[in-house]
Amino acid sequence: MAVMEILDYEHQLILQVLKVARARAGRMAQAGAAAEPGGPELAAFCHHFVSQCHHGKEFLLFQCLLQKQRAYVVAPIADFQAEHNRLAQLTESLAVAWRVAAAGDAGAGKLVAGYLAEFAALMQAHIRKEDRFYMVTQNLLAEADQSTLTAAFDQFDLATLGLGGHARYCQWVYQSTALHP
Ligand SMILES: [Fe+2]
Ligand SMILES: [Fe+2]
């Protein structure tokens, strides 16, 4: 798979998980439920798969694109990096609030619902912008860039998710959402 195809595939997985997250946030906000099941798995996906792995790979791609000396890539990449940071903050807050909610605090349940809704909205808008950006920048990547980056992505999967970790997360998404391999 080419670099942009790998990232696009991961975007599809993340968007499926966001649907589940949104539904959960809606139920928790309405019912004031302390915590729905599946919180630790969702928090782990956001932390390991999204922040560490997917955004880490995008950082490598961004470094490569910035070396192409094209002015039009600079501002979007700065925005994407800022959004990665905000999404990582939300992920951390979400994990903490979910632990408190799971201990029975209904107030924390509302907090979780708020963080989930904000994470889902920001992530969805972020992915839409990146998809458009990747369409217009993919031609900047030479064959050698494709080879270097795809090899680096494989190494990155291993370093952040462990042996077989990426495939296990894909499987988890297939099982917990309507997406099929
Ligand atoms: Fe991103
Ligand atoms: Fe992305």
Q: Look at residues 94, 93, 102 and name the one whose alpha carbon lies nearest to residue 37.
A: 102
Q: Look at residues 82, 111, 78, 83 and name the one whose alpha carbon lies nearest to residue 95.
A: 111
Query: What spacing in Å lies between the alpha carbon of 7 and ligand 2's midpoint?
Result: 6
Q: Return d(Cα 76, Cα 174) in angstroms, integer.
A: 31
Q: What is the pLDDT of residue 64?
A: 97
Per-residue 3-state assignment (H helix, E strand, C coil) for the chain: CCHHHHHHHHHHHHHHHHHHHHHHHHHHHHHCCCCCCCHHHHHHHHHHHHHHHHHHHHHHHHHHHHCCCCHHHHHHHHHHHHHHHHHHHHHHHHHHHHHHHHCCCHHHHHHHHHHHHHHHHHHHHHHHHHHHHHHHHHHHCCHHHHHHHHHHHHHHHHHHHCCCHHHHHHHHHHHHCCCCC
Q: Which residues, including other chains, have CB under 8 Å from residue 135's CB and lie 6 or more apart? A: 4
- What does the pLDDT average to over 122-132? 97
Query: What spacing in Å lies between the alpha carbon of 111 and ligand 1's midpoint?
Result: 24
Residue 116 lies inside a defined structural domain of this protein: yes
Query: What spacing in Å lies between the alpha carbon of 32 and ligand 2's midpoint?
Result: 31
Query: What spacing in Å lies between the alpha carbon of 127 and ligand 2's midpoint?
Result: 5
What domain range includes position 156?
3-175
* CATH number of the domain to which 171 belongs: 1.20.120
**Average pLDDT of the chain, as a whole number:** 90
Q: In total, how many domains does the chain have?
A: 1
Is the predicted pLDDT of residue 38 greater than 90, yes or no?
no
Q: Per the structure block, which two tokens stand in for 157?
A: 């999967």
Q: Per the structure block, which two tokens stand in for 54?
A: 């997917």
Give the chain's end-to-end CA distance (angstroms, integer): 15
pLDDT in tens, 63-111: 999 999 999 999 999 999 999 999 999 999 988 888 888 787 777 778 8
Query: What spacing in Å lies between the alpha carbon of 138 and ligand 2's midpoint?
Result: 14
- What does the pLDDT average to over 40-61? 93
CA atoms within 13 A on the CB side of 96: 6
Residue 180 lies inside a defined structural domain of this protein: no
The pocket of ion ligand 1, defined by CB under 5 A, consists of 58
Query: What spacing in Å lies between the alpha carbon of 104 and ligand 2's midpoint?
Result: 34
Give the distance from CA 123 to its chain's centroid: 7
Q: Residue 85: nearest ligand to its CA?
A: 1
Query: What spacing in Å lies between the alpha carbon of 107 and ligand 2's midpoint?
Result: 32
Query: What spacing in Å lies between the alpha carbon of 58 and ligand 1's midpoint?
Result: 6
Q: Kindly report the pTM of this predicted structure.
A: 0.91
Query: What spacing in Å lies between the alpha carbon of 122 and ligand 2's midpoint?
Result: 12
- What does the pLDDT average to over 116-133? 95
The pocket of ion ligand 2, defined by CB under 5 A, consists of 130
CA atoms within 13 A on the CB side of 100: 15
Q: pLDDT tier at 31 (50, 70, 90 boundaries)?
A: low
- What does the pLDDT average to over 127-132? 98
Q: pLDDT tier at 32 (50, 70, 90 boundaries)?
A: low
Residue 142 lies inside a defined structural domain of this protein: yes
Is the predicted pLDDT of residue 179 greater than 60, yes or no?
no
Residue 45 lies inside a defined structural domain of this protein: yes
Residue 181 lies inside a defined structural domain of this protein: no
